[in-house]
Structure 1
Amino acid sequence: MSISAISETVRIGFPSVAQDYFSGDFSFDTHIITHPDTSFIVKVAGFSMQGAGIFDGDLLIVDRSLVAQEGDIVIATLDGELTVRRLTMDNQCHPILQTENPQHPDIQLYFDESITLWGVVIGNYHPQRPLPAR
């Protein structure tokens, strides 16, 4: 997918009228998605990650080829269900899938649970107006 690209950052305030802003096409595959063969777009349902700027209806870019590191936002499967959480560690270095909304519980991971880290979130698209229904 290609869209027109702007050649500079956008500042809050009034733009300079003396500049030509468009520099050609912009490809997500080239500029955002490093590993297109292992990257996916998933749609968020729920409110557990609002503190991280991830809201119900957002689109997340997920790279399955990356090894999750502490602090990454990850997609995990827990007992067959997908969830979005931040990967953190407790004082004993046990992994926790941390929520970013105090109304939702963190998930303390134990070795006997069926958990798979499905991928690492590398980007988030948050629409500023509702997306059209398809």
Structure 2
Amino acid sequence: MKTLQSQNLTFFIPEPVEDAGANFFDTGISAGFPSPADDFKEQRLSLDEELVKNKEATFYARVSGQSMIGAGLDDNDLLVIDRSLEPENNKIAVCFLDGEFTVKRLRVEKGEVWLQPENPNYPIIKITEENDFVIWGIVTNVIKKLY
């Protein structure tokens, strides 16, 4: 997997593997009382097929920092980013701002754009004509480690 390093994000270019997949039990896992084990049907599941809709436009990036913790994006989480999706108000986007990549929630109102963090300790950024700014892609999924 190819990587590109930025101060706030580390990008990964996915390399699909044919016939890759893990065992998958399509019955749902109860968070309450367990169901009988003989109800499980084993299948194969590819996370690439599940999380990636447009392979040519999809990248992964690892989060560095705490500015988006309110949206569930924690330090070291892996983001799935689709560059083919249109930016919209309230979407979480990876943006290139003044020479650095950042991930923030888009706020678009009356022709103005703001990048809103999901942590009150970080400032809202108003985009102006003076900024070197590109919306690089839209975050579609987040992959977390629980330990």
Q: Which aligned pairs between 1:82-121 and structure 2 lie closer than 5 A?
A: 82-90=101-109, 92-121=110-139
Structure 1: which 5+ residue stretches go unaligned? 130-134
The aligned counterpart of 2:144 is: 126
Counterparts of 1:74 and 1:53 in 2: how far apart (Å)?
14
Q: Is the 8 A contact 1:41 1:60 kept in 2?
A: yes
The answer to whether the 8 A contact 1:4-1:22 is kept is no
> Paired residue for 1:12, among 31, 55, 58?
31
Q: In the TM superposition, what is the alpha-carbon distance from 1:43 to its structure 2 partner? A: 0.3
Between the aligned partners of 1:80 and 1:22, the Cα distance in structure 2 is 49
Name the amino acid aligned to 1:72: K
Q: RMSD over aligned Cα, in angstroms? A: 1.5
- CA distance in 1: counterparts of 2:37 and 2:128, whole angstroms: 59
Query: Aligned partners of 1:21 and 1:50: how far apart in 2?
Result: 35
Compute the displacement of 1:22 (Å): 4.1
Among candidates 55, 78, 100, match of residue 59 of structure 1:
78
Runs of 4+ in 1 over 3 A off after TM superposition: none
Provide the secondary structure at the position in 2 that maps to 1:29: helix
User: How many Å apart are 1:93 and its aligned residue?
Assistant: 3.7
TM-score, normalised relative to structure 2 = 0.81
Structure 1: which amino acid aligns with 2:47?
F
Displacement of 1:4 in angstroms is: 1.5
User: Paired residue for 2:68, among 40, 49, 58?
Assistant: 49
- Identity in percent: 34
